[in-house]
Amino acid sequence: MKVAGRAMREEFRKEVARKTVHFFGGLAVAIICFLIPDWLYIPFSACFAVFIAFLFYLECLRFHGCLSLPMLRSDEHKNIGGHVFFFLGAFICVLIFPKSIAVASILMLSAGDAASGVAFAAISEQKSNNPPYQKPFLVMFVMFIVSFTAGCIFFRLIHHPFPVIFALSGAIGATIADSFPIRIFNYRINDNITIPLFAGSLMLLLRFAFF
């Protein structure tokens, strides 16, 4: 019993460490994306694409036993790591959404998913990304509140005329993507991609429909 409890505490510490890196990595991308001048946006996107390609190259090295990465989950040792999907999701947002919506989506991914992951690890004996599951309501609530707060803070900082409504729509999209697995041809799409895309899509739809 003590051994099992120690293992659970150790796994929880690892999850907190993973999500801390997750949060600050996303925050850095969001800040760079926001501060980059419009005339540098295309070169920035190109550099981001090179960075994504480099991450996939590192994954190839890892699969061939030439490289070892810390803080991977057990299910990621033979699969592409979540960090790759995280930056890929942020990159797609940069490509397809207006800057303000892209930044808000990335913030909801970095802050909301980090808080959700820690909450889920705290109340679950084991987390697995392979089988489909519905997260407990408490975890969904944490995801929604943190995403909504991150969106509100950002939209107020840029003096958006409707910060609460846009943050609310984005948080709803992020929570849906985080809570319910999306499958295409029986392949589960990593939520590091679906969270910012759902959040950004709902905010963009709101913008086109009413503003």
3-state secondary structure 187-205: EEECHHHHHHHHHHHHHHH
CA atoms of 170 and 198, how far apart (whole Å):
7
Q: Do 171 and 88 contact (CB within 8 A), yes or no?
A: no
Burial of 170 (0-12, 13-18, 19+ CB in 10 A): buried
- Tokens 């900082």, residue located: 157
CA atoms of 202 and 166, how far apart (whole Å):
8
Pairing of strands 182-184, 187-189: antiparallel
What pLDDT tens digit does each residue of the chain (211 aa) get? Answer: 454 456 566 667 777 888 888 899 999 999 999 999 988 989 999 999 999 999 999 989 888 877 777 767 777 777 888 889 999 999 999 999 999 999 999 999 999 999 998 888 888 654 444 344 567 889 999 999 999 999 999 999 998 888 899 999 999 999 999 998 888 887 888 999 999 999 999 999 998 887 6
Res 183: pLDDT? 82
Q: Is 107 left (phi over 0), alpha (psi -120 to 50) or beta?
A: alpha
Res 154: pLDDT? 95
76, 109, 111, 94: which is closest to 177 by C-alpha? 109
Res 157: pLDDT? 93
Res 132: pLDDT? 45
> Which are the contacts of 139, defined by CB distance < 8 A and separation ≥ 6?
116, 119, 120, 123, 179
